[in-house]
Amino acid sequence: MSVMTPTVLAQLPQSLLGVDGRTQFGPCYGFTGSRKRKRTEIAAAVDGEALNIYDVQGSRLVSSYAVPPTCLFSCPPCSVRQRQSPGSKTTRYTVCAVQRPEHRIQCYEEEVEHTETPVISSHSHMIEEQSPAIHIEFIPIDANRGQPESSPDVIVVHHNGTVRRLSSDLKHTRWVAASVQQSEGRALPLEVLSAHWVSNADASTGLLRRREDILKDCAACGSSFLILVHRDGDHQKSGLRVGVFNVPMAPQMGFTSSSSSQLRLLLSNPIPGSERWGLATDLHIDFHAPSARLSVSSRNELINYDLSAYIPGISSKLAFDDGHSSLFALDGNTAAGASRSAVQIYDINYQSVKARFGLGTKSRRRGLEDSARKAVRFILYFAKINVLVAVRGRNLIAFNLPRERVKTRCPPQTSSLLIESLGSSTYTSTRVITHTQAEMGPGFVKALFVPNQLEQAGWEARQKSLDELVQRDQVKEFEPFMADELQDTLAEEKDCRKHTPIKLPSEDQFVRYDKIHYLLSKIFHVSVLPSVVGDENNKADVVIVFFPPTLFQWLALHSHLRTSEIERASSSELSQPQLRLGAVAISIMKQDPSLGLLADYLRGANVSGLDEAVTIIKVLIKAAAARAQGMSPPQQLLDYSHAMTPKEPINCTEKISTLESSPSAPAGSWSETCTAVLVRTLDMLRSFSPVKITTAIRTYLDTDAVLALIQILRQQLFQSGCTSSSSTSCVDSEDAILAVETTVLVLCSCIDALGSSGFLGSTFDQGLWQDLVPDLKSEISLALAGIEEATYLKGVIQEVLRYGNAATSNQALPTDSPFHQFEKPTREIVAIMKANTGSMEEQSRCIREGPSLLPLSLDLENSVSKTKKRKGGGETVERSARELQYLKSRNIGRYSFERLIL
């Protein structure tokens, strides 16, 4: 969708005041009795030049009124066209507020007939008020209460809040109302930014449709309403307030000119502001009476407010990082924005672009003033003809906006754009499902659409059969039945007792989460433990009550045993339990002491974070200490140490040291699976920062556990050959060796977690651990020496590889090449050998093999690259064989020598 090319309505006259001159635009209305309607005309007040009326549809100048060269307008003008009776003449009233050379209100009265020349008369009214006028407008007079055929009155609103009502000929001052701060009981001066007049009919359906009390109170006097948007004048960043005032339709003569009873405050509410308003100097405020929508826009933000609510709030908002020359609200859901490069129509609800028109730019550079004059500034929007009027430089232009597509119940016949599909267009679910199944597969459709009522009813019926199998503890019948449910291939009338081969979904297949949660709720049972002093309150433990091995392994390998998933599966409508750290891993260790299931649990990435990983390491270290004693892990090792304290504490450091350093495996020693489990758990810590690892170790591990972990990490460094010249033990499995980077990271974190007080104040065996610090120092020194040797060897190997790659790329041309016959032999004398130094074969071999030194920092002679780069764009191309031979022959000197063998 694109905006049509704008139409130039007119070329505005140049202001005689130069840079100080402005052009302000105002609306034009038509009066039919007491009803006021907007006409497709626009009034333009050019400082020091003229006051013109333009027809938007006809693109012509309707009327023009000359003004003095020193005239400076203070606010946009207003024009009305009125016909008092069907056979009478048509009269146009155009009013403006002049700020210089003196404060006055100027009104032009023009009687128009089709056959006669228009008769123009001018009236003026001097104002003693020094505050400039910011709004001027005509209001109709109620014919039932006032004079039957009278001209409209003029309402003038000043910057300081003073409101005055004048007659159309400006000869009579109806009244001058009190300022806004006096009406609200304020002592601070106010800054009125905008004013809007609303008729009683529009207010009853828009602004005050929820306030019947105010409408009944004002209906007796036939009132209209005046909306003033203002803020405190002494604080530019203060919030905006909206005040609604009662204005009688009929002029009541006999009151003094300073009577404040003609302007009665009805409502005064603040509206939510924005941080960018304090920096904005050109806020544009517009009010739409039928919908009671107040729009406040700046260069990079547009906010729409709903004033019909009891408390005005933001109905829609549009914000940009870069500035726009103008933002204008077309309605509550659409806005227009103009930048230097384009005019765009925005959808506020979806924060997207609906239409766009690119603005042409010239190649030559212009000054800042010229570019500022070329910026597009929106003025008025005519909804009936769907035309947006703007000004660009001295041109008055009109944009014909694209009309919205009429919404029908039938789907669109052709494919629409993406923006039309976001909530605006319709679709048929059958077409979407068919297309998605063909493109993405059936699993993608199942993930998007909720199952129907028949599928849900069938699943609930099959749950009862599964519950009976769980109660009778029939694992063999439960596993194939539940596997078919996960595969989503089970028919509604299938016999659950029929044995079928177990086939579980793969990783790329979609599985309904309600079925996974049902399976987890049958496997695990969550129970809240009694709170203990120093324990975490309201924490729950989990126990495996039903164990299907095949399904459990599938859940572990597909990351369905996370703590959050089990909590969600065990939750009820009233509460959701919160499991302790490592509760799932501890329950798995109780179910399988060989730690085979725990290895699958860790391999499936079920550990949620660092705290849970450190907790699992703590339990594994205590289990290792128990196995070093030649017995199975006691029950208190699989429970939380702060909840249940064993009578005889186990010295983890001593037992771990005995287990790792013993030449023969003692009774109850760890298997390769147990070692791989601990190594995989430690490998999870490498994705965290050292500070977080140190904090977690201090929180969840005691001193003996940290020292035992240090011993395990030292053994890992020794087995990998980092702290010894040769490994004394052979490790069959690669999973039992931890990466050097991870080992060093965790070892440094353990030492930082202990600190000096941990080594000095520990209660472990001093005879066993008195050489810990010297051993760490010697191992670090040995590791540094190994790093130096590896670095030296790396440099030597890099030189050899560099020379070898250069020699490979500089191979001679093949003998069958057409350019080989033109190759000149090299005649350089490289060496002179004596014939009596050995046999001829040995001398030839020495010449072919050359010296036995490594080619360090050497370059090949006459080396020519097979590729070259073009100078234009840096393209890499291959050299031809002719070019390679030419470059090689050019590198040979003028005088050449031959190799002589004496």
Rounded Cα distance, 549 and 560, in Å: 14
Q: Bigger pLDDT: 155 or 179?
A: 155
pLDDT tens for 453-467 read 556 677 777 888 888
Give, in order, the Cα–Cα distances in Å from 47 to each of 67, 68, 76, 85. 8, 9, 11, 35
Residue 797 buriedness (CB in 10 A; 0-12 / 13-18 / 19+): exposed
Whether residue 862 is predicted with pLDDT greater than 50 in this model: the reply is yes
Per residue in 580-612, pLDDT (tens digit) is: 888 888 988 888 888 888 888 888 888 888 889
Give 196-241 pLDDT, tens digit per residue. 998 888 888 888 888 887 887 776 666 788 999 888 655 555 678 8
The larger pLDDT score, comparing residue 24 to residue 340, is at 24
Q: Where is average pLDDT lowest: 304-318, 431-445, 556-570, 630-644?
A: 431-445
DSSP code, position 412: P
Residue 54 has pLDDT above 90, yes or no: yes
pLDDT grade for 97, boundaries at 50, 70 and 90: very high
pLDDT at res. 248: 80
Q: Which two tokens stand for residue 119?
A: 């008769």
Poorest-confidence range of 376-380, 694-698, 789-793, 801-805?
801-805
For the segment 884-892, the average pLDDT, to the nearest whole number, is 80
pLDDT at 42 over 90: yes
Distance between CA 719 and CA 249 in Å, rounded?
98
Q: Retrieve residue 363's tokens.
A: 């190649």
Tens of pLDDT, residues 292-331: 899 998 888 889 999 888 888 888 888 887 778 888 998 8
Looking from the CA of 529 toward its CB, the CA atoms found within 13 Å total 20
Question: What is the C-alpha separation between 34 and 654, in angstroms, rounded?
Answer: 101
The answer to whether residue 362 scores a pLDDT higher than 90 is no
Collapsing DSSP to helix, strand or coil, 630 comes out as coil
Please give the Cα distance from 430 to 246 (Å, whole number): 57
* Nearest one of 619, 605, 742 to 686, comparing CA atoms: 742
Per-residue 3-state assignment (H helix, E strand, C coil) for 475-500? HHHHHHHHHHHHHCCCCCCCCCCCCC
Cα(104)–Cα(889) distance, integer angstroms: 97
Q: Is the pTM of this model over 0.75?
A: no
Q: Where are the alpha helices (DSSP H) in 810-849?
A: 840-849
- 205, HSE (Cβ side, Cα atoms, 13 Å): 7
pLDDT tens digits along 414-467: 444 554 445 443 333 343 444 444 444 444 444 444 455 556 677 777 888 888
Give residue-wise pLDDT tens across range 270-283. Answer: 888 777 665 556 78
Is pLDDT above 50 for 573?
A: no
Which pLDDT tens digit goes with each residue over 771-781? Answer: 777 888 888 78
pLDDT tens-digit readout, 664-723: 333 334 567 777 888 888 888 888 998 999 999 989 888 888 888 888 888 888 877 777
Supply the pLDDT for residue 534: 43
* Percent over 90 (pLDDT), the chain: 8
Pick from 129, 128, 120, 122: nearest CA to 160: 129
- Banded pLDDT at 181 (limits 50, 70, 90): low
Among candidate residues 574, 576, 442, the one with its CA nearest the CA of residue 508: 442
Show the 3-state SS of 592-628.
CCCCHHHHHHHHCCCCCCHHHHHHHHHHHHHHHHHHH
Q: What is the pLDDT of residue 254?
A: 43
At residue 195, the pLDDT reads 92
Judged against a pLDDT cut of 90, whether residue 25 lies above it is answered with: yes
Q: Check pLDDT > 90 for residue 28.
A: yes
Alpha helices in 361-491 (DSSP H): 368-373, 418-421, 429-440, 442-448, 453-471, 475-487
pLDDT at 840: 53
What pairing do the DSSP bridges indicate for beta strands 284-288 and 293-297?
antiparallel
Q: What is the pLDDT of residues 99-147, one digit of tens each?
A: 888 889 999 988 877 667 788 888 888 888 788 899 999 888 765 444 5
* CA distance linking residue 706 with residue 757, whole number of Å: 13
Cβ-based burial of 34 (10 A; exposed 0-12, middle 13-18, buried ≥19): buried
What is the band of 880 on the pLDDT scale with cuts at 50, 70, 90? Answer: very high
